[in-house]
Structure 1
Amino acid sequence: MADSNYIFEPKKKDLKADVQRTVHHLPAFSIEYVKSLFPIFSWIGRYNTTWLLGDLIAGITVGLVVIPQSMAYAKVAALPVEYGLYSSFVGVTIYCLFATSKDMTIGPTAVMSLLIGQTLTAISSNKDNAGYSNPTIAATFSLLAGLIVLLFGLLRLGIVVRFVSNPVIAGFTTGSAINITISQLAGLLGITGIDTRAATYLVLGNTLKALGRTTVDAAAGLTCLLFLYSVKFGMSYLTTRYSNRQKIFFFISTLRNFLAVVIYTIIAFILNIGKTTNPLSILKTMPSGLHDVGVKDIDTKLLSICGPYLPGICIVLVLEHIAIAKSFGRINDYRIAPSQECIAIGATNCLGCLFGAYPATGSFSRSAIKSKSGVLTPFAGIFSGLLVLLAIYALTPAFYYIPNAALKYVYHIVADFNAVTQRIIKVGIYVSVGFSLAITLLRISRPKFETLGRIAIASLDDKSSNKYAYVPSVFEGAQSPPSGILIFRIDQELTYPNADYIEDEIINHVKTNTRRMSEMPKRANDLPWNEAKVTYESKIQENSALPPLKAIIFDFSAVCIVDSTAVQILVNVKRTINRYAGSEVEYHFATILNEPIQKSLIIAGFGSADQKALLVDVGTNTAKINDLESKHSVEIKKSMETKKSEEVSEVVIDSSEDSTATSGGNKFFHLSVEAAVIAATNGTW
C-alpha cells in the first residue's frame, strides 16, 4: 500500500456472489423488515407490573382529557361530536402497535380539526357535492391521507422531513390563538346566524354588531372560563407553595377541563328539571356505540373532490406529528424513527376510516400530559382507548346535558397548539416547506469554497514544531503556500447543483492569483469579443507580477459524493487551467474518503504523471481535441521557452526517490493534505 499511487487499491467485486448472497438471505431480510414495522414486538415480551402501573395512570389521565377535548374538536371540524370520539379511540389504540415514542398520543388536534372543518365547509358550499355528507368526506380524507403517509413510511422516506427546519415546524404548528378564539366567539356568547369560518375581521365585526342577541349561554361560558383559569393558576401557585404535593396539583390542573364539563353538565341537568326547554344550549342526543363502522362507499367523483385538498392535509399530518415526537424524544432521552412514525400515522388513519374517524395526528397537549403522568411504554394508549370506548357506549345519555358554551371554552383552554384560518394554514405550510427546500438547495448549490494555508502546531515544550494544521487563508497567522501552489477545500459533496459554481471559483482564483503563461494577444483589437480593452491593458501589467502555476491540491475531506457532472467539470477545469498555465499542471487530491470518488477521478485522467483526460464533452471528437491540444501545447512551449528559462521556480520536481514518489512518478492521491503538500513541493515547504 505504501508504494501505491492510490489511496484505495481497485477491488474487483463479485456481483454474482453478491446477488446469490442476497437471494439466499431474502427470506430472513423480509421477516426482519416486517418485524421492524411493529416495534411493539421488541418490548411487549418484557412488559411488567411496574410498567403497567405507570401506563395505567397515564392512560386514564389522557383518556379523561381526550373525551371532552375530542368532542370539542369535532365541532370545530364541522362534524357531530361523536366523530371526535371515534377518531380519538382509533388513534390512541392503534398507535401503540407502530410507535417509537412512548409519549405521543394520536387523535384530533386543533390544527387538523380547523383545516378539516373549513375544507368540509368549502366542499359543502358547492351544490355539485350535495350528495356527500361531511362524515363521509372526512372519512375519505382519513383513508387517502393515511395511504399516502403510509406509503411514505414504507418506502423509508421520513428523512424528507429534515428539509423542514424546527423553527418553521414550530411556527406553523403553534399557530395563533387569537384567530380561532375570534372565530368561535359568537358561539361562546350564544349568538347564532354568523359565519364563523369567514375571515377573522368579518367574524369579529359581525359578532360585535350582534352583541344584542347574546343569550344566557354567555353566563355559562364566562363562568366556565373563570373556573378553568382559576384552577390552572391556583394549582400552579399551590405547586410552588407546597412542592411535596405537586403531583396531586398536577393531576387536578390536568383534569380541570374534565371537571368543568362534569360540573356544567350537572348544572344544565338541574336547570332542565321541570322545564320542557333547557335555558342553555346543550349537546342533546348523541348516538351510543360505534354506529359508523364499516367500509365506506368511495367513488371516483368523491376522490376527485378530495384530491386538491390532500397535499395540505398530508403535510400537516406528518410535520405536526414528527415535530412533537422529536421534541419529546429530546426531553426524555430517546430517539424516534421518522419513517416508522409515518407508518404509524398512515396506518392509524387508514384504519380510522373504517370507524368513521377524520384525519388525526399527534397532539402536543395530550402528549405533554401523558409524559408528565409518568408513562413508561406506548401501551398506555390501550387504557386511554378503553376509557373512550366506555364513554362511547355507556356515557352518551349523560352527554345530552353538556352545555355547548362550556364545551367550546374547554376546547380553547386545553388546546396548547391552536390554529389559524385555512388560508393561513395552507399558505404557511407551502411557504415554510418551500422556504426550507430553497435554503437547503441554496446551501447545496453554493458550498463553502476556501483556499488553505497552514499554521504550525505548537509543542508542549515550546520548541519549534514540524507539524502543521491546514486552515483557511483568512485565518490569522496562516502561512500561504509557496508561489505557484494552490490548496483548495470544498466543504460539501461535489454534484451537479454546485459543479458550475465550483468551476467558476477555481478558475477565477487561478486567473486572479497566477500568471498566464500562454501567449496573450499582441493588440487589444485581437481580443475576444467578450473582453474589454481596459481589462486587457490592466491584465498585461498585473499578470506579469504573478507567479506561474505549478500545482493544485484539493482537500476532499468533506467531499463524500462526486457525480458524473462534477467529474466532467473537473476535466473542464483541468483543460482550461492547463491552457492558461501553458503546460501540464499537477493535480493532487488529499483525504479522499471512499473508493468510488478515486475511481471516477482515475477514469477522468487524474492520478497519473501525464494526467490526460479520458472524459470530454458529449458530442465532441476525442481524437481531434487531443490532437489540437497537443499542437497548441507544442506551440506554447516553443514560444515560452525563453521566458521559462528566466523564471526562478520555487518548486522543483525531479525523479529522485522519496516517500511520496514511485517508479511511475509522483503520487497524486494522498491520505493527508500534508502528504499532498510534500509531493507537490518535493518537500521544500
Structure 2
Amino acid sequence: MGHSVSDEHDAKELDIASHHSSRRGDEFPSVHKVRLPPRQKLITEFTSMVKETLFADDPFRPFKDQSISRKLILGLQFLFPILEWGRHYNLQKFKGDLIAGLTIASLCIPQDIGYAKLANLDPQYGLYSSFVPPLIYAFMGSSRDIAIGPVAVVSLLLGTLLQNEIDPVANPVEYRRLAFTATFFAGITQATLGFFRLGFLIDFLSHAAIVGFMGGAAITIALQQLKGFLGVENFTKKTDIVSVMRSVWGSVHHGWNWQTILIGATFLAFLLLAKYIGKKKKNLFWVAAIAPLISVILSTFFVYITHADRHGVQIVKHIKKGINPSSVDQIYFTGGYVGKGFRIGIVAGMIALTEAVAIGRTFAAMKDYQLDGNKEMVALGVMNVAGSMTSCYVATGSFSRSAVNYMAGCQTAVSNIVMSAVVCLTLELITPLFKYTPNAILSSIIISAVISLIDYEAAHLIWKIDKLDFFACIGAFFGVIFASVEIGLLISVAISFAKILLQVTRPRTAILGNLPRTAIYRNVEQYPNAKKVPGIMIVRVDSAIYFSNSNYIKERILRWLGDDEEQLKANNQSRIEYLIVEMSPVTDIDTSGIHAMEELHGSLQKRDIQLVLANPGQVVIDKLYASKFTEVIGQDKIFLTVADAVMTFSPKMRVEEV
C-alpha cells in the first residue's frame, strides 16, 4: 500500500502499529508508522530557514572549491554579466543587436519626448534617460531582451506625485531637483532590495492588481493627452476622469484647435494602422516600430512649411542640445525635500521594478533562459542612481520597446548600447530639428503606445478563474481613473493584502469520503460518489495552522461535527466516535495552532469522540512531539494515511485494492 516516510536510522518512531487491539491485529494487515524526523540544532534550523528564504537559488554555489583568483573573476562576472557572455560574442550576434538597437531607437526617441512631458519635465530629460541608464544596464543586467528607458506609467506616476509637492510651472528648478532626488531614492530602493535578496516583496502586488492598475493608468494617460491632441491650453492638473472631461468639454467652444485635431487624428489613425499591420504579420513588426519616428518627421515638416504654429498649433519649440549634464549638485541630500523625495522614490522605484521584472521573466521564458531577479534589481538600482546624477529620471524596462527588441532579433544587451549610441547622436546633432514638432503628434504616439496596456483578455480570464482577483483588478482600475494614480496603487495593494489575509484567516477545509473500491479519500463535494465512513468524520485542513486561523479551523470542525450529529440522530444512524484530521496539506503549525488542537481535543472528549491525526508532515510532527501533544491524544492516534486510521478504527469497513 505504501512505504515509510523516512530512513530508519537516527529516527525516533511514534509506534502506531495496527495491533491497537489483538482482534484488529488479526483481522487487518499491519498499518504504517509516522516517524519523527532527526532533531536538528537550533542554529542549523535557523540557517536552513534563512538560506531557503533569501538564498533559495544558491548563488554562491559556483564559488565553492575555487581559487582566490577564480573567485574574483566569478565575482566580477556576477556583478557584470557582460564579462561572461561577452567572451562568446561574435559578428553574427552583433548584426542582430545592431538591427534591434536601431529599431528600438527609432521608437524610443519620439516616445521619450512625450513621456518627459508626462513627468512634467522638458523633452530632453526623456532622451537623457535613454542614454546613460541603458548603457549601465547593458553591463550589469541579466536579461537579453529588455529595452531600457522611460515608460508611460512610471512617468505619469512620478509627474503626479511630484506636482503634488511642487508646481512644475511656477518652480521648475525645484521640481526638477525633486525629480532627481526621487530617482536617486528609487535606485537606492531597487538596489537595496536586490542586494539583500528581498525581491519576493514585489510579488505582494498580485497579477490581477497589476492588470487593473495598468489598464486604469493607460486610460488616465490617454485622457491626459487630450490637452495636446485637441490643442487645449488651460487644462486641469488633476488626473481623474471627471476633472479631465470637465476640462475638455469646458473648453470646447474656445479652446479646441481644428488644425491640431486634424494632425493628431490623422497620425493617430496611421499609428494604429501600423500597429495593426505589425500585429497581424509578425515579419512586418518594423512597420509599427518606425511609424512614430515617421510621424514625427512628416508632421514636423508639415508644420514647418505651412507655418501651422502661427495658427494655434502648439509645438515643442526647443529641446536642449548636448548629452547629459551632471546633476549631482541638484539632488536634495538635506532639507525638507529629502523625505518627500524618499517617499516618492520608493513608490516609483517599486512600480518600475515590478514592470521590469515582469517583462524580463516573460521574455526569458520565451527564450528559455534563467533571469536572476535579485541581480536585475541591483542593475536597475545602480542605473537609476547613476541616472539621477546625470539628469535622468526613473527608467525601467519598456514592454513595447522590449517586444520590438525581441521581434527585431536581439541577441544580447548590446542592443541597448546601440540604442543609447543613437540617442547620444540625436542629442548632439538632431534635437534642433524637433523644434517644429507638434505636441499633437506626441500625444498621438503616447495614446497608441498605452492602448496595449489595457488587457481585456487578461481581465476576462481573471473573472473566469477567481472572482476575488477580479475584484482587486477592478478596484485598482477604478481607483486610478476616478481618483488618482497613487490612490489606484494604494487600492490595488490594499486589496492584494486583504486577499492574503482572507486566505490565511479563512483557509479551505473539506469533509472527506472514501472512493469505492479504493483506499483513496477525497472531498465529498468535489467527488459525489465518495462515501462517508460510518461512525467516523474525516476532515482535511488545506493550510498551515497559525494564530490567525487556528480558532476558525477549530470552530469550523466543531460546526461540521454538530451538523453531522444532528443529521445522524434524525436518521437513527450510529453516532460519530472518531474524528480523523488529514494533515498532509498542513505545512506548519505554531503554538496557537497546537493550543487550538488541544481545545478541539478537549471538546471532543466531552462528546466521547476520539481525535485522530493522519499524515502530519515533518515540521508539524516535530512540533507536536515537542509540545507533548502526541502524549495528550496518544501516540496510537497518529497514522501515516487516512486509510490506515480508518482500517484501525472501523471494523465494519474493509479496503479493497483495485
TM range (shorter): 0.7 to 0.9
Structure-1 residue corresponding to 2:514: 454
Partner of 1:141: 182
Counterpart secondary structure, 1:106: strand
Q: Which residue, out of 153, 171, 178, partners 2:212? A: 171
Match of 1:560 among 583, 587, 594: 587
Q: Which among 596, 601, 624 is matched to residue 569 of structure 1? A: 596
SS at match of 1:133: helix
Deviation at 1:404, TM superposition (A): 3.2
* Match 1:292 to one of 326, 335, 341: 326
Q: Which residue of 1 aligns with 2:134?
A: 92
1:221 Cα shift? 5.7
| Partner SS state of residue 515, structure 2 | strand
* 1:498 shift after superposition: 1.2
Does the 8 Å contact 1:589/1:669 carry over to 2? yes
- The letter for the 2-side match of 1:222 is L
TM-aligned CA deviation for residue 15 of structure 1? 6.9
CA distance change for structure 1 residues 19 and 404 in 2, over 3 Å: closer, same or farther? closer
- CA deviation digits over 1:90-120, x for unaligned, max 9? 3322233443433322321222222222333
Shift in Å, 1:446: 1.4
Structure 2 residue identity aligned to 1:677: V
CA drift of 1:345 comes to: 3.1
Q: Matches of 1:391 and 1:238 in 2, distance apart?
A: 26
In the other structure, the counterpart of 2:643 is: 674
Shift of 1:82: 0.9
Aligned to 2:485: 425
Distance 1:430 1:8 in 2: 47
- The 1-side partners of 2:240 and 2:499 are apart by 32
Select which of 615, 624, 627 maps to 1:601. 624
Give the % identical residues. 25
Matched, 1:497 2:548: yes
Distance 2:297 2:182 in 1: 33
> Structure 2: how far apart are the matches of 1:16 and 1:183?
56
Q: Which has the larger radius of gyration?
A: 1
| Shift in Å, 1:394 | 2.4
3-state DSSP class of the match of 2:529? coil
2:94 aligned with 1:52: yes
2:315 to 277, 281, 305: 281
Task: Evaluate the alpha carbon distance shift between residue 229 and residue 678 of structure 1 in structure 2; reply closer, same or farther with a 3 A threshold.
Answer: same
Unaligned runs of 5+ in 2: 1-6, 16-32, 52-59, 65-70, 455-476
Segment drifting more, 191-200 vs 469-478: 191-200
The change in CA–CA distance for 1:174 and 1:107 in structure 2 (over 3 A counts) is farther
Q: How do 1:51-70 residues align onto structure 2 when only pairs under 5 Å count?
A: 51-70=93-112
The one-letter code of the counterpart of 1:486 is M
Q: Which residue of 1 aligns with 2:117?
A: 75
Separation in 1, partners of 2:387, 2:651 = 71
Q: Which residue of 2 aligns with 1:590?
A: 614
- Report if aligned partners of 1:271, 1:279 keep a CA contact under 8 Å in 2: no
Normalised TM-score (structure 1): 0.74
1:231 to partner: Cα distance: 5.8
Q: Give, in angstroms, the shift of residue 147 of structure 1.
A: 1.4
Alpha carbons of structure 1 residues 295 and 597: separation in structure 2 relative to 1, 3 Å: farther
2:548 partner SS: helix
Please point out which of 211, 233, 238 is paired with 2:273. Answer: 233
What is the alpha-carbon distance in structure 1 between the residues aligned to residue 275 and residue 203 of structure 2? 38
The change in CA–CA distance for 1:260 and 1:138 in structure 2 (over 3 A counts) is same
Report the AA paired with residue 150 of structure 1. Answer: A
Once the 2 structures are TM-superposed, how far is the Cα of residue 263 of structure 1 from its aligned partner? 2.5
Q: CA deviation at 1:141?
A: 0.7
SS at the partner of 1:380?
A: helix
Counterpart for residue 468 of structure 1: 519
Distance of aligned partners of 1:454 and 1:34 in 2 relative to their CA distance in 1, 3 Å threshold: farther
Q: List per-residue Cα deviations over 1:179-234 (Å, max 9, x = no partner).
A: 4444333433444344454654444444455456569x753662354145236426
Structure 2 CA distance, aligned partners of 1:437 and 1:237? Answer: 41
1:365 aligns with 2:400: yes
Q: TM-score, normalised by structure 2?
A: 0.77
How far residue 169 of structure 1 moved from its aligned partner, in angstroms, is: 0.8
One-letter amino acid of the counterpart of residue 103, structure 1: D
2:296 aligned counterpart, secondary structure: helix
Question: 1:247-262 alignment to 2 at 5 Å?
Answer: 247=283, 249-262=284-297
Which residue of structure 1 aligns with residue 18 of structure 2? none
Mapped partners of 1:366, 1:126: distance in 2: 28
Distance 1:65 1:131 in 2: 28
Among 480, 486, 495, which residue is 2:537 paired with? 486
Partner of 2:35: 8
Q: Is the 8 A contact 1:77 1:118 kept in 2?
A: yes
How much is the aligned-residue C-alpha RMSD, in angstroms?
4.0
What's 1:399 paired with? 434
- Give the SS at the match of 1:453: strand
Q: Classify 1:455/1:208 alpha carbon distance in 2 versus 1 (closer, same or farther; 3 Å).
A: closer
Q: Is contact 2:162–2:344 with CA below 8 Å preserved after alignment?
A: no
SS across alignment from 1:123: coil
CA offsets per residue over residues 276-301 of structure 1, 9 Å max, x none?
Answer: 99986342251322123435442231
1:327-406 to 2 correspondences below 5 Å = 327-333=362-368, 336-406=371-441
Deviation at 1:269, TM superposition (A): 4.7
- AA paired with 2:259? A
Measured in 1, the distance between the counterparts of 2:362 and 2:352 equals 16
Quote the Cα distance in structure 2 between the aligned partners of 1:93 and 1:552.
65
Q: CA deviation at 1:438?
A: 0.9
Distance in 2, Cα, partners of 1:308 & 1:125? 18
Residues 36/500 of structure 1: CA separation in 2 closer, same or farther (3 Å cut): farther
Residues 297-343 of structure 1 show CA distances to partners (whole Å, capped at 9, x for unaligned) of 42231113335544542442233334444444455555644444433
State the SS of the aligned residue for 2:324. coil
Structure 2 CA distance for partners of 1:19 and 1:123, relative to 1, 3 Å: closer
Report how far residue 74 of structure 1 moved.
0.7
Alignment of 1:22-61 (within 5 A): 28=63, 36=78, 38-61=80-103
Q: Comparing 142-151 with 467-476, which one deviates more in the overlay?
A: 467-476
Deviates more, 1:54-63 or 1:597-606: 597-606
**SS of structure 1 residue aligned to 2:34:** coil
Query: Distance in 2 between the 1:599 and 1:180 partners?
Result: 55
Unaligned runs of at least 5 residues, structure 1: 458-466, 515-537, 613-665
Partner deviation per Cα, 1:637-681 (whole Å, 9 max, x = no partner): xxxxxxxxxxxxxxxxxxxxxxxxxxxxx7444332222322334
Counterpart residue type for residue 101 of structure 1: S
Residue 570 of structure 1 deviates from its aligned partner by: 1.0
Asked if structure 2 preserves the Cα contact closer than 8 Å seen for 1:170 and 1:323, the reply is no
The residue type paired with residue 472 of structure 1 is N
Structure 2 distance, partners of 1:276, 1:468, is: 86
What SS class does the counterpart of residue 512 from structure 2 fall into?
strand
Residues 180 and 421 in structure 1, CA contact (< 8 A), matched pair in contact too: no
Q: Quick one: distance in 2 between partners of 1:17 and 1:315?
A: 34
Deviation at 1:387, TM superposition (A): 1.3
Partner SS for 1:561: coil
Report the Cα offset of residue 65 of structure 1.
1.0
Residues 683 and 206 of structure 1: is their aligned pair in 2 closer, same or farther, counting only changes over 3 Å? Answer: closer
Is 1:109 matched with 2:151? yes
Q: Are the counterparts in 2 of residues 586 and 680 from structure 1 also a CA contact under 8 Å?
A: no
**Structure 1 residue 490: Cα displacement:** 0.9
* Alpha-carbon separation, structure 1, partners of 2:484 and 2:172: 29
The 3-state SS of whatever aligns with 2:620 is helix
Query: SS of the residue aligned with 1:487?
Result: strand
